[in-house]
Amino acid sequence: MIEIVSQTACIHCDKCVKVCPTDVFDSVPDGAPVIARQEDCQTCFLCEAYCPVDALFVAANAYGPEPVIEEEVRAKGLWGKYRRELGWTPAFTTKDRLKETRELGKRIREANERQKLESGHPHHEQPKQN
């Protein structure tokens, strides 16, 4: 569930208030939004994806609070990671994501072909997404 609205990083744009599908945040005049209804959070990570400055953190536990510390999350490299992996940052865009996906697919297919030639049967199939 949503655990952190970083007071230092937040620019008070209220984007998270607007986009949360379960209306978890309340906006605060001249301040960072507050987590007003944490129990309604469905742990979809979409507030993090939409936050333009990586000011939010959603912990993994969907069924209860799990207090976490911003510095520890940052130290583990998890801060803002979902938005990055989604291809929603200037440094790694959706075009970059699609390109990397294509390249990985090509390399895996080639490795597969090599394996097939060496052992006479396919090593594995392409992962299916659903």
Partner 1 sequence: MSKLNEAGLELKADVLVIGGGPAAAWAAIAAAEDGAKVVIADKGYLGTSGAFAASTSGAKVVPPIAELRDPVKFERYAMGGFLSQHSWWDRILDVTFERAPKIYEWGGYEVPNYGAKGGGYGGGLQGPETMRIMRKKIVELGVKILDQSPALELLVDGEGAVAGARGYQRQEDRPWTVKAAATILASGGCAWLSKSMGCNTNTGDGLLMTVEAGGELSSMEFSAHYAPAATHSSCTKSGQYNRMTYYDENDNEIPGLVRDGHRITSAIAKALLKGKVFVKIDKPDTKNPDVRRQLQLGQPNFHASLERGGLKPFEEKFEITLNLEGTVRGVGGIRIVNEDCGTTVPGLYAAGDAATRELISGAFTGGAGPNMTWVTGSGNISGRAAAAYAKKLGPKASEREVHGVGQTGLVTKDETAQPYEANAVVKGVQDEVFPYDKFMFRTEEGILRSLGKLEALWKSVQGKPLQDTPQHLIRSREAVSVLAAARWAYFAGLERKETRGMHKRVDYPATDPNQRHYLAVGGLDKLWTRPEAVPEEVVAKPESLKEAAHV
| Residues that bind partner 1 in the complex, under the rule CB under 8 A | 17-23, 37, 40, 42-46, 49-50, 58-63, 78, 81-82, 85-88, 94-95, 97-98, 100-101, 104-105, 107-108, 111, 123-125, 127-130
Distance (Å, rounded) from C-alpha 64 to C-alpha 74?
A: 22
CB of 45 to partner 1, least distance (A): 6
Q: What is the DSSP letter of 93?
A: E
| CA nearest neighbour of 4 among 44, 80, 59, 60 | 59
**Closer residue to partner 1 (CB): 40 or 70:** 40
DSSP state of 40: G
Which one, 7 or 43, has the nearer CB to partner 1?
43
C-beta of 11: minimal distance to partner 1 in Å?
A: 19
Looking at the DSSP bridge assignments, the partners of residue 92 are 89
Q: How far is the CB of 85 from partner 1 (least distance, A)?
A: 4
Nearer to partner 1, 7 or 85 (CB): 85
Distance (Å, whole) CA 48 – CA 35: 13
Q: Which is nearer to partner 1, 7 or 106 (CB)?
A: 106
| Helix (H) / strand (E) containing 18 | helix 15-19
- We find the least distance from the C-beta atom of residue 48 to partner 1, in angstroms, to be 9
Residue bearing tokens 């803002």: 80
